[in-house]
Amino acid sequence: MVDARTEQSISYKDLFSKTCSLAASLQKSGYDQDTIVTIFSENCVEYFIPVLSTLYIGATVAPVNSNSTKLELTYALNLSKSQIIFCSKQTSSTLMDLKKELGFIKKIIVIDNKENSAEMESMDFFIDSCLPSNDPLYRFDVIDVDIDNHPAFIMSSSGTTGLPKGVMLTHRNVLVTISNIYEIGLIPKEKGSSKFMILPFFHVYGLFTTLSNIYYLRRIVFLKKFEANLFLRTIEKCRITILTLVPPIMVLLAKSPLVDKYDLSSVKYIDCAGAPLNRETEEILKRRLKINFIRQGYGLTEVTSLGLGILLGVEKNGSVGKVISYMSSKIRDPKTGKSLGPNQIGELCFKGPTVMKSYYGNQEATRKAFTSDGWFLTGDLAYYDDEEFFFIVGRLKDLIKYKGFQVSPQELEAILLTNPKIKDVVIGLPDEEAGELPILSENPL
């Protein structure tokens, strides 16, 4: 893994050594299958060390948005009740007071800093204090768990009830998703090729795409945060062939004059997900970069990031693809519950081994998310054509899609309405760059 800005890197040999050492240290400190571990960091070369180590010991990973405010972080931690938090130097200040306020937090460890303080310690110090110096680095027995029921991850997902819910993803969910990500070509097939990751690692899209590339030992070049010139320069320098993007960056590639300053001729495919992509933007970008294939995909946290996709080399303008392997999908009439045929618009539903186990600690929300016969209700309106390609046309949910992230109007309203002078509600305003922007409506709905 290579940081595109600093060129700091970690080899797979070092990643393997470090994850085994950290896993052994966590075990010796008393953490086990019942432990929930939060990762609170921006993208960095150390990010996946605690992720993989937590999975080794059979514990559960609960990533949190690195841009979270103290209020948002407090809510997320109260939801998961994480006993141990791995953070970065950059995010550590947000955590300073929380250990005292939240009694269930036992330890805070900084992954990218060697300095210690009274409130937190460095990852290297934690490992050194747990393991004798003569301990073999590569010997660690991975803990067996029930892969169909034990949570590997608790991911955050907003819903129409307002505040985020914890999506419980099992090891089976993860294994099948890694297989499907490889099958549809989100991983470069050529050994020695580079995968360019600009997506945040805490987001379900970035997390599982990166984890899959780690599994297949691909070189991963990443950005801590998006910077247009650095993004374009990295494509040119590393001769990137496949880009995995979200619509706002597609707009930049299609319209920014910066693009003309760089050689992007290595790019052969672009994958886009996170929000619907404007067809006009797609066509402009094809002409500008002289590429034939821009693929849209569809996924959400509750189906472990990927539900519909298009194989490399297949072109179907406007479609988000076909049902991925091992999964079933259908279009359902939201009012009658009846299954609909080709070219009929209804609610998109999924069933299969990438669908979440449940919403963590929320039986009522889990019950509402599924039909009586086990179909997961996405809340998105779609149809499929005679060739079984799916097209997304709208949402039953009233979520705002801001740069690929789901923003709940109810959550914003709950905060705003604490001010007695505010009476209007939040709605989504269409925006080319972001997808939608939250604004106050002129009249209450």
pLDDT tens sequence across 17-28: 999 999 999 999
Instruction: Return d(Cα 111, Cα 378) in angstroms, integer.
Output: 36
Ramachandran class of 399: left when φ > 0, alpha when ψ lies in -120 to 50, beta otherwise: beta
Q: Show the CA angle centred on residue 317, arms to residues 314 and 320, nearest 5°.
A: 75
Considering the chain, tell me which residue range(s) the CATH 3.40.50.12780 domain(s) occupy.
Answer: 171-353+376-395
Tens of pLDDT, residue by residue over 62-95, are 999 999 989 889 999 999 999 999 999 999 988 8
Considering the chain, tell me which residue range(s) the CATH 3.30.300.30 domain(s) occupy.
Answer: 400-440
Above 70 in pLDDT, residue 162? no
Q: Which fold has domain 400-440?
A: GMP Synthetase; Chain A, domain 3 (3.30.300)
* Gyration radius of the chain over CA positions: 22
Considering the chain, tell me which residue range(s) the CATH 3.40.50.980 domain(s) occupy.
Answer: 11-145
Q: How many CB atoms lie within 10 A of CB 3?
A: 16
Tens of pLDDT, residue by residue over 179-222, are 999 888 888 777 777 889 999 999 999 999 999 999 999 999 99
Q: Show the CA angle centred on residue 292, arms to residues 290 and 293, nearest 5°.
A: 125
Tens of pLDDT, residue by residue over 324-360, are 999 999 999 988 999 999 999 999 999 999 999 999 9
pTM of the model: 0.87
b/e map of 357-388 (b: 16 or more CB within 10 Å)? bbbbebeebbeebbeeeebbbbbbbbbbeeee
The mean predicted confidence, pLDDT, of the chain is 88
Q: Which fold has domain 171-353+376-395?
A: Rossmann fold (3.40.50)
Q: Which residue has the tokens 């514990």?
A: 59
Tens of pLDDT, residue by residue over 259-301, are 999 999 999 889 888 777 777 788 889 999 999 888 889 999 9
Determine the average pLDDT of the residues in 35-41: 97
Q: Which fold has domain 11-145?
A: Rossmann fold (3.40.50)
Please give the pLDDT value at position 404: 65
Please give the pLDDT value at position 16: 93
Within 289-340, strands assigned E span 293-296, 308-309, 322-323, 328-332, 339-340
State the number of CA atoms in the 13 A half-sphere of 147 facing the CB.
11
Q: Which residue has the tokens 């669908």?
A: 355
Instruction: Return d(Cα 233, Cα 261) in angstroms, integer.
Output: 9
Structure tokens at 282: 């797609």
Please give the pLDDT value at position 408: 58
With cut-offs at 50, 70 and 90, classify the pLDDT of residue 424.
Answer: low
Stretch (H or E) spanning 253: helix 247-255
Please give the pLDDT value at position 444: 43
Residue among 295, 387, 277 nearest 343 (CA)? 387
Minimum mean pLDDT range among 125-134, 225-234, 403-412: 403-412
Residue among 195, 165, 166, 198 nearest 181 (CA)? 195
